[in-house]
Every structure is written in structure tokens, then in C-alpha cells.
A = this chain, B = another copy of it.
Amino acid sequence: MASVLNIGLVGAGVVGGGVVKILAARRDIFAKQFGVQLRLARVADLNAQRLAELPVGDAVVSASAADIVNDPSIHVVIELVGGTGFARKLVLDAIAAKKHVVTANKALLAEHGPEIFSAAERAGVTVWFEAAVGGGIPVIKALREGLTANKIQSIQTIINGTCNYILTNMSQRGVGFDEALKEAQQKGYAEADPTLDVGGGDTGHKLAIAASIAGRGYVPYEKISIAGIQSIAREDILFADELGYCIKLLGIMRQEGDKLDCRVHPTMLPKSHILASVNGVFNAMRVVGDSVGEVLLYGRGAGELPTASAVVADLVDIARDLARTDGARVSMHFYDHHHELPLLPISEVRSHFYLRFAVEDKPGVVAKIATALSAEGISIASLMQKEMPNPVPVVFLTHVASEASVRRAIANIEAAGIAHQKTQVIFVER
């Protein structure tokens, strides 16, 4: 191909604006270093004002994404529209027009990955998505290339800045969830509708992608067990702190025999855990590989320029590929989308647990709970009871038990009226 890579950008919002700025600032450096000019040829956005304010150079601007897909000179389409409706059609149309695609859209890839990667495979083009997971932190490249020699044994990741900001704030300032969410919204760290973030869906999307690459197969998003942080109370943060733990929303992948244990939930981590010190809007991914051991990648997982940094890295990778060959180096083998990986049901997950029961302060209650736990084979690691007005919280840390046995024990305890029906259950990682 020529020494020019013609780029069409759809969506000139926050991240798209960052891409335009980086390309404008560093075009000449890239041309000198890689022998390929990364040329922003077209930009489409419904908001003409945005387009007018960006340094688009001699790019053709319009409100129509179809203009980009239909332009035969365009080599790469950057999709920064978001969502799974229009974006899905746009990406499939671009692929059908034999254009490479760069996207930051984790929802699209997690929910429609096999459809998109199959289409790309048929068309002989590639779909790039470094920006979809971890913003500017090169986690996809690390999993896909840097750590490729490894069987990945586990991933633990803090990958949603909104949740981490809220939990950090609850922990450091002692505020409740609602107040912390409101403040995050005021600072622009949470959306007006925060459901996808605080409900864990966004973390689930990113985990599905990372686990697919790590597991060399396809992890279906809809089969991942997902719980958000809305249920975390101020007192859980305080009890965790007293016990030497903090609470983080984790995406977890772990090889368990021939199954993958994939889940998203609030998690208690010992304060000495490397992820315990990842605070505020920062993201981190801890990966354990059979050869490399423990690796951590840390940085800003969102924002205009960090996310644009990852989009542009993908563009440079495409430019490097195309400068030398008409094929693609990494090709469709990001993961094997034909091969769905079997997941371990959440009920079979074995873990330590934090259980907070709400009980009436009367003799024998703790003994009854302990007996009910014991009946399910759950043994108690530690126990904490505070003098408080009724209902009194009683906190247990358990030794390793299956999630199913914990659920059964709690159902029995609540059904027998020993505790109120609002028992808090939090997974504990070591």
C-alpha cells in the first residue's frame, strides 16, 4: 500500500477530540519514525460545533458516518460513537467495506464479539481495541503479545474508574454510597445514569474481553456473574478497615481446572495487596502467568488523552503492518471467537467470605448463626460484634467455602428469624 494511512473518524466527542489533537501534534514524528503518514482524511459527528473547534487540518468533516464508510480511499474507520446500536451497524458496514476498525467500545465487543470478529475474518480486515480496556494502559497488548508465552492463571482488575473513585471516597472520607456517587457525578467521573458503571456491567464488558484473550477463547459477557457496588454500606467499609481490608470492585478471572472462573463483584482485599493501593480514578490489572509470575499494569483507565493514546497506538500498529504487507500481523487471532470457554458457575466458586448479619441483641444469636454456618460446612476465621442499637451488626469472616453453601446457610438463618433479611455477603480475596 501507499505510505499514507487514510483515517476516518466517527464520533468527535471527548476521546475522538483527543485523537484529532494527538494526530495533529505528532503526525510528522510518526511519518519520520514509521515511514507512514497517519492522515486524518474524514471526521463525522452530528455536532458541527465540535468539529469546528478541533484541529482537523484538511480532513473532510460531515454529519454522516456513511460518507466515511463509502469513501474507497479510507483504510481505517475509528468508531467512537459508543453503545451497541448504531455503533454495531457502523462497525459491520466498515468491515463489509473492507476497512480496518479501531474502537474503544467494550460493550460492543463484549456483547457482539463473535459476530464482529467473524465478519472481520471473512473480510480479511482487523478490529483493534486497545482503548476498550484500561484506557491508556496497554493491557490488551500485554495480554495478547507481551505475555503470550504464558498460560494466564489469573487476572484481578480494578478497571472502572467511577467505581474506584466512589469506593476510595467512601473509604477515605467516610461518606455513604449516595453522597459519593453524587460527588463523582459533579466532578464528571460518573454519568447522569451511572447504572453501567456502578452496577458492574462496564467492568464485566472489559473482563469478558481480557479473559477471552487470556483464555485463548471466547468468554460470553452474558454468562459472567456480575454484582455492583450499590449495596456497599458505609459500615461495610468501616468493618473492612478494622479487619485490615479495603473494598474494591474487582473483575476476576481464574483458571479452575478446565473451567474459567469469571466474575465481577465488590471484593475485600487485604491492605497489603498490591491492588489495595490503587485509588481514585486509577485502574490496574494484576495478571499471573505460569512463566512470568505476577505482573501489574497501572494507569489512567479513562479520559480524553489517555484513551486517545490507546486509539493512536492501534493506528500506528496498523500503519506498521500495512507499510510492509497487505496482510495483518496480529490478524483475527486476538482470541478464538469460535471457541466458547466454559465458565465455572458462581455457586461453585470457593472463596473466603465476609458476612454481615443484622440481628436483635439477645443471648444465643451468635451461637445460632455459627451453628447454621457449621451445618453447611462453613468454618469461621474471625468474628466481630459491636455494641449498637438494634438491629446489631454481627460480622463473620469465613474460611474457604463454596458460594452455594454460604447462600444456603444465609437462607436458613434468615428463614429461622435469627437474622433480618438483609445479610451482606462480600467475597474476600487474599
Contact = CB atoms under 8 A, between A and B. Distances in A.
A297 B300 contact: no
Contacts of A327: 324-325
Interface string A291-326: 111111111100101101111110011001100110
Interface stretch (A95-103, A134-142, A391-399, A417-425): A134-142
A277 B271 CA distance: 12
A145 B316 contact: yes
A29 interface: yes
Contacts of A216: 29, 33
A149 B324 contact: no
Given A145-B141, A292-B136, A325-B325, A309 B150 contact: yes
A291 B320 contact: no
A289 interface: yes
A407 interface: no
A255 interface: no
A289 B33 CA distance: 18
B295 A137 contact: yes
A295 B291 contact: no
A336 interface: yes
Nearest to A26: B149
Contacts of A309: 147, 149-150, 289, 291-292
A338 to B, nearest CB: 12
B299 A292 contact: yes
A171 B308 CA distance: 41
Given A316-B148, A331-B324, A297 B294 contact: no
Q: How many copies make up the complex?
A: 2
Contacts of A228: none
A330 B320 contact: yes
Contacts of A34: 333
A22 interface: yes
A244 interface: no
Interface string A110-138: 00000000000000000000100001111
A245 to B, nearest CB: 17
Contacts of A204: none
B297 A295 contact: yes
A316 to B, nearest CB: 5
Nearest to A139: B146
A317 B26 CA distance: 26
B291 A299 contact: no
A408 interface: no
Contacts of A295: 136-138, 297-300
A274 interface: yes
Contacts of A92: none
A217 to B, nearest CB: 11
A298 B294 CA distance: 8
Interface in A358-376: none
A199 interface: no
Candidate in A135, A290, A313 with the most chain B CB atoms within 10 angstroms: A313
Contacts of A33: 216, 333, 336
A329 B324 contact: yes
Given A136-B293, A292-B310, A294-B299, 18 more contacts: A26-B149, A33-B336, A136-B291, A137-B292, A138-B145, A138-B295, A141-B141, A147-B313, A148-B313, A149-B313, A149-B316, A150-B309, A290-B305, A292-B300, A292-B305, A296-B298, A320-B330, A324-B327
13 contacts: A136-B147, A148-B313, A149-B310, A150-B309, A289-B309, A290-B305, A292-B306, A295-B298, A296-B299, A320-B331, A324-B327, A324-B328, A324-B331
